[in-house]
Amino acid sequence: MLIVMEQKATSEQIAGVVAAIENRGYKARPIPGGERTAIGVLHNEGAVDASFFSGLSGVKEVIPVTRPYKQVSREFKPENTLIRIHDVTIGQGNLTMIAGPCAIESEDQAMTIAKHVKRAGAHIFRGGAYKPRTSPYSFQGLGIEGLKILSRVRESTGMPVVTEAMDEESFNHVEEYADLVQIGTRNMQNFSLLRRAGKSKRPILLKRGMAATIEEWLMAAEYILEGGNSQIILCERGVRTFVHHSRNTLDLSSVPFVQNESHLPIIVDPSHATGRRDQVIPLSRAAAAVGAHGLMIEVHHEPDKALSDGAQSLYPEQYEALCLQVQSIRDTFQNESRDVQKS
């Protein structure tokens, strides 16, 4: 339930409502807005007595929140959440481009790719230091050395960096070095990791589980919000289906659905969704057209020598051409949606 305060409500009236919520054994989560404050009522198991709260001083209205994901829902917070990472803002009408190799393999490799993608127009650099690999015999990432390389990439290019934390221990290291902490598909329902992310001061990039419904995904985000961290970017990366022509099936319908249901930004990763560079290019264009807030794409200057995911990594020239295409799709889309809204 959401209690919306009068525009002129005093801080005493707000405190009074918070106390009334807590006296009933619930948790109060004030959400200051541009116009007025709203207070979320959390931790209620059954229905909350709305008439009691609507009679309190300073209360304008009481709105039931019908979704199981409360703090994630638009009912709870109607305006878009914007994530600011240095001078990059995610969640506006723009298309934020995240690019880099699957894994950080060496300083030379990371710097070379970073320079290419920056020149092409990338805003944020990606690269795994801790790699969740299907086989224990595959390259597992450089760990802390990889994180140090990432921070040198940031220093030298000015791009913020994102990398994955696989467990609570690696989370502590990733949080120290990276600007944005990724939780990967295999960990979307690792609830202790989600709770750890909830305590972090860093924004979190939460990928959709490969077998997760949208409700399960949004509930995973709810864990992070519930822990106190409201800086979350969702990332659609495809789900496992019965097809063989593609590594996963990119569910682009999740983008408008999530944007309707939630105030959190949502980006698309066509690389892990498809596993093949010839599919990454057209599906990136589709993701830009469907209104995603950003694209995360794997790029490698020598994909044939890549230690992981070479087949889905774009050549730098392909990425450069793609950046121009997706930005122009986004510009057209923005102009047209303005026209649609007008009519």
| Residues that bind ligand PEP in the complex, under the rule CB under 6 A | 102, 128, 132, 164, 184-185, 207, 237, 269, 272
Tokens encoding 332? 């057209």
At a CB cut-off of 8 Å and minimum separation 6, what does 148 contact?
A: 177
What residues from 296 to 325 belong to the interface with Mn ion (CB under 5 A)? 309
Number of residues located near Mn ion, criterion CB under 5 A: 2
Residue 121 DSSP symbol: T
CB-wise, 14 or 296, nearer to ligand PEP? 296
Considering beta carbons, is residue 21 or 102 the nearer one to Mn ion?
102
- Report what 247 binds from Mn ion, ligand PEP, none; CB cut-off 5-8 Å by kind: none
Q: How far is the CB of 172 from ligand PEP (least distance, A)?
A: 19
From the list 154, 153, 149, the residue with the least C-alpha distance to 129 is 149
Q: How far is the CB of 128 from ligand PEP (least distance, A)?
A: 5
Measure Cα distances from 283 to 99, 229, 251, 274 in Å: 15, 31, 10, 9
**Residue 237 interacting entry, from ligand PEP, Mn ion, none, C-beta within 5 to 8 Å by type:** ligand PEP
What b/e readout covers 239-273, taking b as 16+ CB neighbours within 10 angstroms?
beeeeeeebbbbbbebbeebbebbbbbbbbbbbbb
Question: In sequence order, what are the residues at sequence separation of 6 or more whose Cβ sits closer than 8 angstroms to the Cβ of residue 213?
Answer: none
236 binds Mn ion (CB under 5 A): no
- What residues from 67 to 126 belong to the interface with Mn ion (CB under 5 A)? 102
Q: Minimum distance between the CB of residue 318 and ligand PEP, rounded to whole angstroms?
A: 18
The residue among 119, 108, 116 whose CA lies nearest residue 142 is 108
105 vs 309 by CB, closer to Mn ion: 309
CB of 296 to Mn ion, least distance (A): 10
CB of 241 to Mn ion, least distance (A): 19
Question: Could you say which of Mn ion, ligand PEP, none residue 226 binds, taking C-beta under 5 to 8 angstroms by partner kind?
Answer: none
Give the number of other Cβ atoms within 10 Å of residue 295's Cβ.
Answer: 27
Taking residue 317's Cβ as centre, other Cβ atoms within 10 Å add up to: 11
Sign for the CA dihedral angle at 302, 326, 255, 163 comes to: positive
**Helical (H) or strand (E) element with 255:** helix 254-261
Nearer to Mn ion, 227 or 275 (CB): 275
Q: What is the residue-wise DSSP string for 5-23?
A: EPTT--HHHHHHHHHHHHH
132 binds, among Mn ion, ligand PEP, none (CB under 5 to 8 A by kind): ligand PEP
Q: Which is nearer to Mn ion, 102 or 149 (CB)?
A: 102
For residue 202, the partner it binds in Mn ion, ligand PEP, none, with Cβ less than 5 to 8 A by kind, is none
Beta carbon nearer to Mn ion, 102 or 117: 102
Q: Where on the chain is the footprint of Mn ion (CB under 5 A)?
A: 102, 309
